[in-house]
A and B are shown apart, each in its own frame.
Chain A
Amino acid sequence: MAQMTMIQAITDALHCELKDDENVLVFGEDVGVNGGVFRATEGLQKEFGKDRVFDTPLAESGIGGLAIGLALQGFRPVPEIQFFGFVYEVMDSICGQLARMRYRSGGSLGAPVTIRSPFGGGVHTPEMHSDSLEGLVASQPGLKVVVPSTPYDAKGLLISSIRDNDPVVFLEHLKLYRSFREEVPEESYTIPLGKADVKREGKDISIFAYGAMVHESLKAAEALEKENYSVEVVDLRTIQPLDIETIIASVEKTGRAIVVQEAQKQAGIAANVVSEITERAILSLEAPVLRVTAPDTVYPFPQAEAVWLPNSKDIIATAKKVLEF
């Protein structure tokens, strides 16, 4: 076991898969010599060569098309979109093409592509670098969407994503890249897609979150514990498809729930979780299910970021509303 940051765990996962499967290719803008702008692909070109780890011209749609074409030749492409805010440039390749390949071909062609991309706020980026756009891709049938919150999960989920025979969008929260280390096995291991993880058990309320908000939720849970509330924190990990069993089991146990997302409130993942809970577990509920989200503005300029982003205080306040309902 080694202590790894999330970015190291991601590099390690890519390393494992490049080593295990000669069809795995890693490419994108600056992923070669430079090792990626966040060093996610550090050292990989040197070890596996330019044929398997390579830089592309600067064009996201081109990268998406390249991934599709390589998949059609039997490769398992792992392209990087440098920042997920640039996804608009490649929306047709992802949603119009990749996600539909199996469906369009009547099941005869698969597209085992894993699109890795950093996203998320709190690090004072220029515009279009921090937006939480997971909802865009989660609304496209044919895509799985994964958002890890820990180094251990990141490695196991990324390996599963690469091995999946269908396209996966794998979103890496910028703020979590180097925020902490944890024990990560050096050997290859998988964590199944579509499975949530109970990060903290509790009896009084369930908090559902993903990405950086898992950590804000855990902070909130600790604070609430001091007020004698037993809080369960469920990390969704895969936001499409959701792990309905774990979500419902948790709600049935606690009878109260809130859903936390860094994204704006409108048409989001949290809304989907709330709908699933009300459709499936309304009789277990002691209170309405509330959401903690960012406001429905465009992602803010950096100077307003700290207030705009949901945090543990917002989560505590909303959780109390539900607990005291």
Chain B
Amino acid sequence: MVSKKIQQFDPVANLQEIEEKFEMFQILNEEGEIVNQEVDLQLSDDQLVELMSRMVFTRILDQRSISLNRQGRLGFYAPTAGQEASQIASHYALEKEDYILPGYRDVPQIVWHGLPLWKVFLWSRGHFVGGQIPEDVNVLSPQIIIGAQYVQTAGVALGIQKRGKKAVAVAYTGDGGSSQGDFYEGINFAGAFRSPAIFIVQNNQYAISTPRELQTAASTIAQKGIAAGIPSIQVDGMDPLAVYVATRDARRRAITGDGPSLIETVCYRYGPHTMAGDDPTRYRTSETDSKWEKKDPIVRFRKFLVAKGLWNEEKETEVIAKAKEEIKVAIKKADETPKQKVTDLIRNMNDGDLPYNLQEQFEIYAEKESK
């Protein structure tokens, strides 16, 4: 026998090799130029314009939501500016039959999925009608517990699979959420069942104040999907075309039985964590802010579309006016919704008759609220 020297497995080199393979996927650079010609976008001019319109609408929605919050006309609000590509372009690759499990910053996606804006405003104010999901809208209300939607997404995806539907379940969270146990359990379950799920980690660099570097030793969040045996990609989350294509491809794999995917969108939130007193200057420098603002998704997409002759100032003004009007109408509708009562909340505790304790409490509050 000729002894053959087997090269010793080098775990350090192996990790390095894997991490180096996770190159950030980009199609449109900061100048609005296509840098990845090989990708077939399969988007018509109208679709490109629609995507831009939605992103502009969403930026306006963010600005108005912030000011409504400051006026005391909205409650809890987590700003979205900077994340339009990550949120809207990923959503643009979905279909109505797909089911979205959002985090608390992911209000725009569920609005574009069909949840009426006035309901979202009521949800923000803390009114139960805001949580009532119309039957034909496949979304949950934004999740407050970080990462809880991962395991639920695995469940919705398994349900979709068992029903034989051509649809996907989509979880949205952030970089902080990818440190939760539920992240690992959720992607692992979906992988094990080969269910049609897409897990979108919007790496906006900070979990409140804690920087991405402190969340994990992994050089990308995307690579965490490898351990669960699911296709994973890191995309430029400020590039709407890259986000769109990555989500579209993940969806195609999912509905053809190829299981779940993980997408890390590298992006930035310009605003505070929420409007409840977070001050980003405590943990971010203005240099960092302006570095990211140069990558702005709307700016680069505008450049791209203007160069193609698909977008101009007039069009943008039109979208902005439309957004402002729709927001105004939605706020008015939210204002007109009857005040909620404790008896309403008691009624929503269970199906059918109330148990004795709630029945007694219902009567007490009905009496109080009749005065």
A: which residues have CB within 8 A of B? 25, 51, 56-57, 59, 61-62, 64-75, 92-93, 96-97, 102-110, 141-142, 164-166, 194, 241-242, 244-245
With CB as the reference atom, state the residue of chain A lying closest to B155: A69
Q: What chain A residues lie within 8 Å of B131 (beta carbons)?
A: 104-106, 108
Given contacts A106-B128, A241-B357, contact A69 B347 (CB under 8 A): no
In the assembled complex, B114 has its CB within 8 A of some CB on chain A:
no
A-chain residues with CB within 8 Å of residue B132 when the two chains form the complex: 105-108
A238 nearest CB neighbor, chain B only: B355
- Contacts beyond the supplied A66-B158, A194-B355: 8 A-B pairs with Cβ under 8 Å: A57-B185, A59-B189, A65-B151, A68-B152, A69-B158, A92-B148, A106-B129, A107-B347
Cβ-defined partner of B155 (8 Å) among A70, A107, A166, A245: A70
Kindly identify which residue among A51, A109, A165 contacts B352, using a CB–CB cutoff of 8 Å: A165
The complex places the Cα of A92 from the Cα of B182 at a distance, in Å, of 10
- Minimum CB–CB distance from B155 to chain A (whole Å) comes to 2
List residues of B (143-188) whose CB comes within 8 Å of A's CBs: 145, 148, 150-160, 162-163, 169, 181-182, 185-186, 188
Find chain B residues with CB under 8 A from A102 CB.
Answer: 348-351
User: A69 and B152: CB pair below 8 A?
Assistant: yes
Assess the A62–B159 pair: CB atoms within 8 A: no
Contact A68 B182 (CB under 8 A): no
For the complex, what is the distance from the CA of A75 to the CA of B128, rounded to whole Å?
A: 25
Residues of chain B from 59 to 114 with CB closer than 8 A to chain A in the complex: 99
Is B207 at the interface (CB under 8 A from chain A)?
Answer: no
- By the criterion CB–CB under 8 Å, are B140 and A72 in contact? yes
Chain B residue nearest to A51 in the complex (CB): B162
Interface residues on B, range: 35 or more
How far is A59 from B182 in the complex, measured between Cα atoms in Å? 9
Decide yes or no: A72 and B159 within 8 Å by CB, A62-B185, A65-B148 being known contacts. Answer: yes
Return A281 CB to nearest CB of chain B, in Å.
14
* Closest residue of B by beta carbon distance from A27: B158
CB distance from B182 to the nearest CB of A (A): 6
6 smallest beta-carbon distances between A and B, as pairs: A69-B155, A65-B151, A73-B159, A241-B355, A62-B185, A106-B132
Q: Is the CB of B189 within 8 A of A64?
A: no
Of B133, B150, B157, the residue contacting A108 (CB under 8 A) is: B133
Given contacts A75-B159, A107-B348, contact A65 B145 (CB under 8 A): no
B278 to chain A, nearest CB (A): 23
CB distance from A292 to the nearest CB of B (A): 24
